[in-house]
Each structure stands twice: as C-alpha cells, then as structure tokens.
Structure 1
Amino acid sequence: MRIGVDVGGTNTDAVLMDGGRVLAWTKQPTSADVEGGVTAAIRAVLEDSGTSAAHVSSVMIGTTHFVNALVERRELDRVGVLRLASPSGEALPPLTGWPEDLAACIGRHYHLLPGGYEVDGREMAPLDEVRLRDAALDLKARGIAAIAVSCAFSPINAAMEQRVAALLREVWPEAAITLSSEIGRIGFIERENSAILNAALTSLAARVVRSFGRAVAALGIEAPLFISQNDGTLVSAAQAEAYPVMTMGSGPTNSMRGAAFLSGVADAIVMDVGGTTTDIGVLASGYPRESSISVDIGGARTNFRMPDILAIGLGGGTRIHLDPALYEAGEPAGAALRVGPDSVGYRLAQEGMLFGGQTLTASDIALRTGQADFGDPALLPAMSDAVVAAVDGRIRAILEEGLDRMKTGRDKVTILAVGGGNFLIPDSLGGAAQVIRPPHAVVANAVGAAIAQVGAQVERVVSYDALAREEAIEQVAALAREQVLAAGGDPASLTLADVEETYLSYLPGRAVQIRVRAVADLAFEAPAGGEAAAIGVPHEA
C-alpha cells in the first residue's frame, strides 16, 4: 500500500492506495510547522481505512513550500556566487534583472573568476585556484554557507565546476554547494539563476524534508520516503534536500498525473481549480508537457525542467467585485463587474456568503447556478437572473481564454476537471470536446504523488560524425535506464518516456544534444535514503 501526500499552502491532502484503488482520502489544514499537517493527514487515512502502518510500502510527498518561499521572499539563505567566465562574462554580473526585493534577500555576494569554456568545449581561460581559494575564504568569513557555482558552457563540459566543488570542500567542508551543470541547461544567465535559487533554498529544504521524515516516523511507518519532482517522477529525501528547485512544480504536476490516472485519459488539458487559482496544463502520453521556454520563478528567469503551466486568478474563493446595489439590477456593464484575481483563499468558510460571510465569491455564484452543492443557499443575497448570468459568463470567459492559450491547435480537446474548486468548470466549454470529472478529483494531487514513478533524465552532446545516430541514442538511453534501476525502478515496467534530439548548428560537425527520459514503477523493495540518490537527477555532459 502507498500513501500519497500533497502539501499546499492551505490544505494538506492525502490518499491511501492499494494498487489502483483509493482506499481512503482526506483534506487537512496545512500547519505552520508542516509536520503537524502531514502527520494529521497520514493518520486520518490510516485510521479511516483501518490500515496498520506496517502495511505501508512507501510514502510519496509533493509540496509547494519551496516555490511559495521564493514568491513570498521568506526563509531564504544568503548565497555566494562563484562565476567562472572572466573576462568575457563580466558584462552582466550575477542577479542581473532580478527583482530588487528578491536580490536583497539573497544578497549580492559574488566573485567573478577566470575560467569557462567556449561553445565547442575549448577552455576559455584556465581556472585560477589561488583566486578561487581566496573567494571561498571570503565567503566563509562572511558566514555565507550556501554557494552557487556557474561556469560558461558547463553543460557541455562540467569538469571545471566539479574541480571548484572539490576545492571548496577542502576550504569549507560544511558549505552547501550547487553546481549549475546539475540544475539547468545551456543558457548561461538562466542556468546561473537556477543554481542561485537552489542554493537559496538550502536551509528551508533541510527543514521541510526532514519534517516530512519526522511525520512519517512518528506514525511508526518504516517505509521509504520519496519526494515528487517537477516532471512527475520521484527523488529520495536526500536528493530533494540537495535539489529543492527540482520539486517546485510538483503541485500542478501531481494534479495532472493524478487526473490522468483517475480518468484513464493520457492526452488532455487539465484544469486544477484551487481556492485562489486555476492551473491549466497539457497532458501528453500521461505526463505534463514540459515548458520549452525560460520559466520565471519569483521574478528570476530559469531553465531547469518545469511543467508548462498557465495559472489564472480564478478559484473557489475568488472575489466577485460588484456593487451590492446592482445585485437585483439588470445585466451589469463593463467595469461594473470584475471577477478576481484576488481571493479570500482559505477564509472562504468565514467570508463567503454561502457560509454567512459578507464577501461575494465565485463559490456563491456556483451555488446559485447549481454547480456547487455545499453551503446554505438561504444565506445568499437576492440576485437577478441577469446578474447571475453575467457573472457566470465572465467566469466561463476566463476559463475559455485560458484553454485557448494552452491549446496547440484548433481541434476540440478533452478537459479533465480536478481540484477542490472543480465545480467552477461548467460541463461544456468553448473549445472543449468534453469535460470529465474523474472520481476523487478533489484529491487528484495526492493521487498523483502516490502513483508517481521513478525516473532519470540524461543529456549528452554527441557528434553523429563520430557515432551512428542509433548507437548514440542507445548509449544515452542505457545510462538513463541504469539510473532508474539503481533508484529502485521495477525492470518489468521500465520504459523510455521521451527521446529528444536538438541539432547544434553552432558546433562543428553534426553535433546533437540528445535528451532521454526513462521511467519505471517503483519496485516494492525500492531502496531508501541515499541508495535512491540517482532518482531524477539531471546529468549533462
């Protein structure tokens, strides 16, 4: 039996699954210490199902804590940046283009050092180990223990970054080191930004992930703990501590994977409606479509793996801005009516009119139209049919615009409606062939965590002049398969989820970047802790 947990900013959802069956599910308030909410959620599904902790084979947890910390500018470490790209890489210093408040939280502690590679892999400048040691001692003297190392074209050749890491450990063994080649892709500024963000989350990641471990242990569960990643696969707790940015998109990814599993539909558009926002993403072969452009995280441009998600300001707690004097008037025109984007969020039960509050929300309108079946209709104010239709039409227009922005063609598509606020999605939408609400849709995120697979993505730059295409792809695929099996994947379910070739016209010969992603179901006897360290770690040559 597996337990899946999704820790959101408002609720902590959990499910207990036996194979493909959901035996129990719950929604519990997320606690300030994280641990309490996770413990309550897991305890609830165990008690509801009458299951002993000894029968749990694995626990999978997804969380939005890390992306929320960046957005809210809280609990971030100061970061020291060592950039190996001088002299040509000095025009734009680290943190260029960052929001000033985020840069102030992290601090502008950087050293511009000689080093790096050209686009064809040639050394741009030799590494100056004397200056490097001086930089490390400077950061140590200032007490900056989170260090991000970036090197020009390190995804093509990571040797210089690895040498820097070795020297840093000699000077300062306690420092937490993030290498950009292990986080991002080609694209220097975005890759460096990704490494800095990862380093800034060092202390928070340790606290959050370890609190998960304590919650599981407190309930007597001895099964291995895994954390879900941006691409829907799993990492060990140790890897999540080391690479928290790789888990930042796990919330919407879990919802999408859960929607695919619960509905049996592998290709669709998922609308995950929460209390504040609706996340819209595309499912392709049962996995979220990956963003092909730089992703903005908290105002900083990054290029690590993230799902292609559109977040719109519409949820169950979204405020409806309309003068009460117009409630019984004719259809409100133009600016007289506005839907969101602000929301009462988790305060819906106190502020929403359907619960006796004074704020008109999207849930109130859904109850009035018969889409929602909770709350007390008698508490709603008198509203004319024209006003209700106008608000409902505005909500529909917001959803249809979001759908159009995520579609890649003119054909109608299947919509999977999930999340606690999925009642806001009407049974028919312009551009939709059908709207499906799978069973247990309100906890699709926790289901997605529970059914997550182990995976590995391997990237290499090769020359088709030196190796035949089929041979080169197979070599990269073999590395990915090896990592999945080492991480605890079931050999019987091992498959290649994606093979991507990108021709690099700026390199000599027929140079190609090959990216292979392999996945497998988690074997029952999956290794725990450090033995699962290879799960999902990006490797770039």
Structure 2
Amino acid sequence: MAEPTKELAVFLGIDTGGTYTDAVLWSEQRGVIAKAKALTTRHDLSVGIAGAVEGILAEASVVPSHIRLVSMSSTLATNALVEGQGGRIALVMIGFEKADLEKADLGSALGSDPVIFIPGGHDVYGRPQPFDTSALSEILPELIGEVTGFAICAYFAVRNPEHEIAARDIVRRETGLPVTCSHELSAKLNGPRRALTTVLNARLIAMIDRLVAATEGFLDRSGIRAPLMVVRGDGALVSAAFARHRPIETILSGPASSLVGARYMTGLDEAIISDIGGTTTDVAVLDKGRPRIDPNGATVGGFRTMVDAVAMHTFGLGGDSEVSLDDNAMVPGIKLGPRRLVPLSLLAAKHGSLVIDHLMRQAKSATAGRLDGRFALLTGVPAQMATGLSKNETELYGRITVEPQPLDRLLTSMSQATIVNRLVARGLVHLSGFTPSDACHVIGLQKNWNAEAARYGAVLYARRKDGAGRPLCDTPEEVSHRTYQALIRRSSEVVLETIFAEDGLDGPDIVASPLIQQALSGERGIAGARLDIDRPLIGLGASAPVYYPAVGNMLGTKCIVPADTDVANALGAVVGQVSVSVEAHISQPMEGLFRVMAGEVVMDFQIEEESIAFAETTVKHQVGQLALEAGTDEAQISIERNISAATVEDQRKFIEAVIVATASGRPRIAH
C-alpha cells in the first residue's frame, strides 16, 4: 500500500485476548488500512503485541511517526475473573464486622487471602468513628512476602474517605506494595460490594500493569510516540496510567470494545451481539445504536461488582473451552467450559514432536488413562506471583517447566490433580487438553494449528467410557462433530439466556425448559414452540465464521458476520471516546445544615442553593481533572442534578441531592 500523507492521522488498535493478540491500523478517511493476528504470549505479552503490530506496519508501509494514537482493549482481566485467577492480596476492613464477609459474596471472592479488621469508618453524614491502626501496623511485616497488594475498604468511605487514605499511606510506607481504596472506585453505598470490587481490583493490578508495561515497552522500541489509551468496561477510552490504577474498570474491556467495533462495522442500531473468543462468549444487546449499561454493575465470574459497564452477559464458553463429560446419564453428554485449556493443536504447533510423541504413546496403550491427552506447563508470570503457596503446591510447582509435560508422567498420584488445578487457578500453570478448536481441526473447519495433535486428542477422548463402560464414540471424527455441535447448541443457549434476561425474565430457567430445548433441537410433538427474535445476530471473533451461521440457523434469525469480525475488538478500541463521571452527595445531618461530600472534599453550608452551587463547581473541576488524566484535552462537561425533597404540611423538606458531572471527548493525539 502507498505511504499515507503526513496529514493522515493513523490510529493503531490492539486487543490482547486469551489466545490471540489482534492489531488494526485505521484512519477516519480510509477506515481499516491493515490488520493482523499473533498468538498472545502470556509469559511476555510484548512478544505477541510485536508479532501483530509489526506485521501490519510492514503491510501498510506505515512509518511509526504517522501513528498519532494507540488504543487497546483486553480480555485478560475478564478471563482472570471468570477463571478465578489473580494475585494474592490482603483486605483491610475499617469499621466492619466479620459477619460482613458473608455479604455480597465477599468471603467467596477472598478465598484464603488474609483480611484485617480495624476500628474506624464514618457514619452516613461523614462523621468519624474511633480509629485505631495499631493492628494493621503489627501485621504488615508478616504480609510483605505473602501478598502482591492490598485492598482497603472503610465504613461509609464514600461519605468521608479520610480513614481509607490514612490506612493507605501506612501500607504504602511500610510495604511499598500496590494499594487500592474503595472510594477511588465507586461513590455508591453498600460496603461489602464496594469491598468486593476493591479486592478484585487489587488482584488485577499486577496483570494489567504487565500488559501496559509490555505495550509501552514495545511502542518505545518501535519509535511510536503516541498516547496509549485503554478501553474501559463501558466502552469509553481512558489513559493507560488511569487504567493501571483502576484495572477493575477494564473488566469487560474487550467485549465493550467489540460492541463499539460491531456498531461501526455494521451501522446497525438494533442487534444482538455475540463475541466468541478462546475463553469466553460475551453477549449484549444494542439499542438505538448504543449498548445497554448495566444499572447494577458488571457481573463477571459470578461476582456482582460496582463497575459501570455494558450490560454484557459473559459465559465461560469459547473455542478453547475444556471439554468434559456429563456423567449423569447412561449416554453422557458433552459439557464445555468454563475453564480454558491450551488446545492440543496449538501446543503442538509451538512444541512439535514433544507433544505428538506423548499423545502417540498414550494412544497406543491398550487401556485409556484418566490423564490421557493432558499436559501442564508454566505460564511464565513473575516469581512474586507465586507467593503464599503450600508445601505440596511449592513442590509440584517446582517440577513444572516452560516445556509441556504430560500429566500421566508429571503426577505421582491422582490427588495431585487437585494441586495442579489450584496452580492453574492462581494463574501460575497452563493446562492443555482437547477443545472445540481441536475438534474443528479434525473435521476440517480450522487449519491454523497442528491437525495431527488435534486428531490424537480426539482419539484419546473418544476412548473415554460411558455409564455402561462403552467408549464414548467410535471415531475421532464422531467425537469432534459432537463437540462442534455442543458448542453451537450452547452458543445458541447463551444468546437466548441473554435475551430473556434483558427482557426481565429468568434466562437460564426459561432456556432449560422443555419447550425451548425442543425448539432448539428442531423437534416437536402435536404442539411445538418456534423462536422469534426481533433483531439480527452479529457474530464476532476469529472463530465466528466457523460457528455463528449455524447458531443463527438454530435461533431462526438473520446472522451477520462482518468482514473484519476477527479484529472487532481492536477496531472498537480506536473509534471510541473518553468519558468519565464524578458525583457529589448533599445530605442534611441536622435542620438547616447542608453537607457536601465530593470525594475527599467535605464542606458544610447553611443555605441549600449555596451547597448545590458549591457541589456543581467542585465536581465540574474534579471531572475536568479526571478527564485530563483519562486522556482528553477537549472534554465537554455536563451536569445532572437529582434532588430529593418531600412536602410536609405544605412545607418543602430537603432530603438529599446527588450532583453528577460527566466529561467526554475524543482522546488526545500526538502532533
């Protein structure tokens, strides 16, 4: 392609997914100029980024100085929460009771991570309770080598965050580790859910920091001197520095970016968008040209957070989903996910005969082993991520290498399979096994990796026994077709679950009903059900052309798979806008006193109008500063008032007010 003129501003979009890293060059005048894919390299993310970006720069004959903006989305945070991964953190609860851990699934999210309770916090009007940090100071020396970061949540910190700030300063001074405070992430009430959101944020900091650092390092080496932006979960763009501090806001970044990309590619205002990746399928509804925003906060991995994000329904279903058997029936069905495995075809594409030889050895055995077709290898994350392992975990972790090892040789007992699963959940180890991607290689629908390894994996899987002791399938082709059909069927079900849920119904229960299952199967008796969907389905993702035409047929609706569907996320990353919000609360602690609480600002007034004017001026200034940090120099600011008042005996009584300032604009570009 011809070299672009100097006047042509070229934008680089990058999407780092669980399996692939995508890159796209785009300009407002020419649209998509070039696109490329490379395998995501989790041990060093810059390798995959370089592989994708260098390819398109060469193809498009674009010199680095022509790139004025770099923007990226990622499914790494989403995948980590879905798969239960992340660093080990410590939670500091100020003014809470141990019983609060049972609320909002906070205890479940914490798992075995340590929690410290100290006195303090504030009341609803921002008045402090007795505060004592001695217990925190005593335990910090013990935690330095045990955790990767801290989460701090104080009672009513959204009304006054001074105790969170004090605890944060102590932890930073004594440990030097990353700290997340709950008031930095949300202005909403509900302490346990705020604590949950803070815990997840603290877990993700190291992961997102590595992603941003890898991208910045590559850009610097490549001579690309352009601002780096990251897509947030609501589809808006924020600066990389902003995302580093608040990585929880990047959950659903990839899916949100794909929605923006789908809207751009199709021009449709009303659609159902389903984005299938290696680990997850993300489904959302497009209304009037905009994705719906979840009013209750994003739910990922079963946890309801306080993060504003698109109303995205995320399912542990993808091309690299673990294939397992539903043993509850005499004729076992095939289950998919939620865990991602490295496909055998991909493992062999990278490690060659090392993988093939072990699969061949297992296939020649007269008896089928429970660990056949399974390998383990290190993910390559930094050593500090392995803090807090038990003795047995440390011993097994020490024997796993960057080269794949078959589980039937690595494990000395079946009980060690549980230990491997714990190491996988910590993000320290990858498991490899038979996946739908392998099945597609066997039946000729995919050809990008090693088909021989995929076939051996199918042979080994077909030998698994059903409830009567018979082999699951007679041929590798049969088990592969069944796996492919299982993914189409489950993909159709998750689309329907989303549609019903968006209509205010119980999606999973309705989809599980006999009538819906009958409609999906195309079967009927004297009576039957027919599905009717009021808008088309847009299939996104590199494997969408393989699966989604069949999904559309099963659902009886038009399915559109755009030409650039394989880079929808990367494309969406460069066509969006920066958007940030700040809110202030005004309460009345006593008659005639109006208290403004806006972040770290707390101020009292005796006149309602003065308090509102001060609140509006304050949030306008705060959101302007936040917009600069988020990456835009030309933000348009809007103010929304929500004043609650009651009339008692013909007298107006002020209750409370919420003032919301929103700033939005295109990201700044290099000149």
TM-score normalised to the size of structure 1?
A: 0.75
Partner of 1:484: 627
Matches within 5 A, 1:8-407: 8-19=17-28, 21-31=31-41, 32-72=43-83, 74=85, 76-79=87-90, 81-85=91-95, 89-93=97-101, 97-98=105-106, 103-104=111-112, 107-117=113-123, 119=124, 121-123=125-127, 125-126=129-130, 128=131, 131-132=132-133, 135-140=136-141, 142-143=143-144, 146-166=149-169, 171-172=173-174, 174-184=176-186, 185-284=188-287, 286-293=289-296, 295-298=298-301, 300-312=303-315, 314-316=317-319, 338=334, 340-341=336-337, 347=343, 349=345, 361=436, 394=489, 397-398=492-493, 400-407=495-502
Partner of 1:408: 503
**SS at the partner of 1:405?**
helix
Unaligned runs of 5+ in 1: 324-332, 527-541
CA deviation vs aligned residue, 1:401-449 (integer Å, no higher than 9, x gap): 2353344389712332211122222384687864333330111011111
**Residue of 422, 440, 455 corresponding to 2:564:** 440
Q: Distance in 2 between matches of 1:367 and 1:516?
A: 55
Shift in alpha-carbon separation, 1:188–1:19, aligned structure 2, 3 A: same
Q: Distance in 1 between matches of 2:440 and 2:501?
A: 26
Shift in alpha-carbon separation, 1:114–1:262, aligned structure 2, 3 A: same
Q: Distance in 1 between matches of 2:61 and 2:332?
A: 53
Shift in alpha-carbon separation, 1:250–1:342, aligned structure 2, 3 A: closer
CA deviation vs aligned residue, 1:381-402 (integer Å, no higher than 9, x gap): 888xx99998798457425523
Is 1:451 aligned with 2:580? no
**SS at the partner of 1:201?**
helix
Amino acid at match of 1:425: Y
Amino acid at match of 2:260: R
Partner of 1:421: 543
Q: Distance in 1 between matches of 2:436 and 2:178?
A: 45
Partner of 2:603: none
Q: Distance in 2 between matches of 1:200 and 1:396?
A: 30
The 8 Å contact of residues 339 and 394 in structure 1, kept in 2 or not, is answered as no
CA deviation vs aligned residue, 1:38-81 (integer Å, no higher than 9, x gap): 111111111111111111112112223334444545551432x3
**SS at the partner of 1:443?**
helix
Shift in alpha-carbon separation, 1:230–1:462, aligned structure 2, 3 A: same
Partner of 2:608: 466
Shift in alpha-carbon separation, 1:351–1:518, aligned structure 2, 3 A: same
Q: Distance in 1 between matches of 2:630 and 2:612?
A: 26
Partner of 1:3: 12
The 8 Å contact of residues 82 and 113 in structure 1, kept in 2 or not, is answered as no
Please report how far the alpha carbon of residue 271 of structure 1 lies from its aligned counterpart in structure 2 after TM superposition: 0.8
Please report how far the alpha carbon of residue 316 of structure 1 lies from its aligned counterpart in structure 2 after TM superposition: 4.1
Please report how far the alpha carbon of residue 295 of structure 1 lies from its aligned counterpart in structure 2 after TM superposition: 4.5
Q: Distance in 1 between matches of 2:135 and 2:218?
A: 42
- Per mean C-alpha deviation after superposition, the further-off stretch among 52-61 and 282-291 is 282-291
Shift in alpha-carbon separation, 1:364–1:55, aligned structure 2, 3 A: same
- Per mean C-alpha deviation after superposition, the further-off stretch among 198-207 and 428-437 is 428-437
Residue identity over aligned pairs, in percent, reads 25
TM-score normalised to the size of structure 2?
A: 0.62
Q: Distance in 1 between matches of 2:314 and 2:304?
A: 17
CA deviation vs aligned residue, 1:461-509 (integer Å, no higher than 9, x gap): 2469934999799755675456435644363x8476x96959699xx83
Amino acid at match of 2:99: A
Q: Distance in 2 between matches of 1:400 and 1:205?
A: 29
**SS at the partner of 1:303?**
coil
Q: Distance in 1 between matches of 2:169 and 2:435?
A: 59
The 8 Å contact of residues 77 and 203 in structure 1, kept in 2 or not, is answered as no
Q: Distance in 1 between matches of 2:483 and 2:203?
A: 47
The 8 Å contact of residues 140 and 171 in structure 2, kept in 1 or not, is answered as no
Matches within 5 A, 1:502-517: 509-517=654-662
Q: Distance in 2 between matches of 1:503 and 1:338?
A: 54
Shift in alpha-carbon separation, 1:302–1:50, aligned structure 2, 3 A: same
Amino acid at match of 1:484: A
The 8 Å contact of residues 315 and 421 in structure 1, kept in 2 or not, is answered as no
Please report how far the alpha carbon of residue 279 of structure 1 lies from its aligned counterpart in structure 2 after TM superposition: 1.1
**Aligned residues, how many?**
494
Unaligned runs of 5+ in 2: 1-9, 349-355, 364-433, 456-474, 505-531, 588-593, 595-606, 647-652
Partner of 1:534: none
**SS at the partner of 2:133?**
helix
**SS at the partner of 1:306?**
coil
